[in-house]
Amino acid sequence: MSTDSNISQPHDRFLKELLSHPEQAATLLRERLPEAVVRFLSADPPESVPGSFVDRRLREHLSDRLFKVKTIDGRTAFLYVLIEHKSALDGKIGWQLLRYMVEILKQWEKENPDWKRLPAILPFVFYHGAAEWKIPDEFMALVDAEESWQPYLLNFRFPVLDLGKIPDPQLSGDRRLYVRLLAMKYATRSGQQLAIKELLIEALGNAPEELLPIMHYLVQTYTSYRKETLREIAQRVRPEEIDTMMSQFARDIIEGRDTEWRDIVRQEAMQQGMQQGMQQGMQQGMQQGMQQGMQQGKREGEAALLLRMLSRRFQTLPDHIPYRVYEADPNTIEIWADRVLDAKSLDEVFSE
């Protein structure tokens, strides 16, 4: 079994973060699993089992989440959620589920060598691709065999949650889960993203605590949203926190479209520094001090932004780096900032 550390797709990170909250995970599973399954689940929240069973070569469009649950009569079972993001479906999802369920059982057997009966594993497919899901929901559809043989062959069914088939108002009865599913539904439907802006703002207004993770997700996946649209959403949902949020984006440089957001925050840092410099100059009562303050504030704002970018990209920085950055002139800081996204090491950023 592999770990989660290499997951790179924003959809994977977003949904896995959602499912890491027991309350939201429990709500999603109870709302979307078959009633015949749900009525036997206990009231205890699902327990997340760390790790992933998906092949590395398939992680571009697949991720997974394994939960351990209790039934009302005390049995232990597993709910295996396979998350499919790809639009061009290959039809082999049943085979993938079988392989991953076998791996789950193999791991469970190592931990329970004296077992007498195996735990149940209920597979569940979460899909939010743009194309309609039309793949049969049972393993037998992949088997080339005589129909009369089917009672003697391995088979299982798996429920599929296709967000595209669910009307927006019915995505979830939970306000926080609803806005996340709404965002995921249209992340793969760029042609409809502008049309649901008002609906998204309304949903965020009902769950404002979800604004920051939703905004991060929109930046990475909503290709139809430009910086003005994203700023409008944040401004209308939490106007009092717009400056704090922009600072947060500076710390969490977003992959994929981070150059655009870097420029936004750089401009704000420059403006803030210039304003601080102007205040300092006015207090000194001298035009020269005002100009020097503006220049100093601009440089310090850019230096602070660069250090946040470096910390995000390379984690802990050597002690000498902040001193070097704050001593650099604005042109040099700009050159270093442009190198951050593509550099593989700090040496590449600061190379002469």
Smallest CA-to-CA distance from 8 within 60, 86, 48, 78 is with 60
Q: How much is the pLDDT for 324?
A: 82
Query: At which residue do the structure tokens 């997700």 appear?
Result: 217
Give the pLDDT confidence score for residue 30 in this predicted structure.
Answer: 93
Q: Which two tokens stand for residue 34?
A: 């078959």
pLDDT along the chain (352 residues), means of 10: 46 80 89 94 88 66 80 89 66 89 91 93 89 91 95 95 95 95 92 95 95 88 87 89 62 46 51 56 55 60 78 68 80 85 80 78
Residues 6+ apart with CB under 8 A from 178: 171, 172, 203, 206, 207
Tokens, residue 254:
């977003």
Cα separation, 311 vs 323, in Å, equals 14
The pLDDT score that the predictor gives to residue 257 is 46
Assign 58 to helix, strand or coil.
helix
4 CA to centre of own chain: 13
Residue 68 phi, psi (nearest 5): -105, 130
Nearest of 48, 43, 47 to residue 71 by alpha carbon: 43
Q: Which residues pair with 16 in a beta bridge?
A: none
> Which positions ≥6 away from 175 have C-beta within 8 Å?
203, 206, 207
Nearest alpha carbon to residue 201 among 152, 252, 236: 236
Query: What's the rounded Cα separation, in Å, for the pair 63 and 77?
Result: 20
Measure the CA–CA gap between 194 and 197, rounded to whole angstroms: 5
Q: How many residues does the chain have?
A: 352
H or E segment to which residue 322 belongs: helix 320-327
Task: Determine the pLDDT at residue 7.
Answer: 35
Closest alpha carbon to 8 in 68, 52, 66: 52
Which structure tokens are listed for 94?
């049943």
Domain residue spans in the chain? 10-239, 241-349
Which of 5, 14, 6, 63 is closest to 254 using CA atoms?
Answer: 14
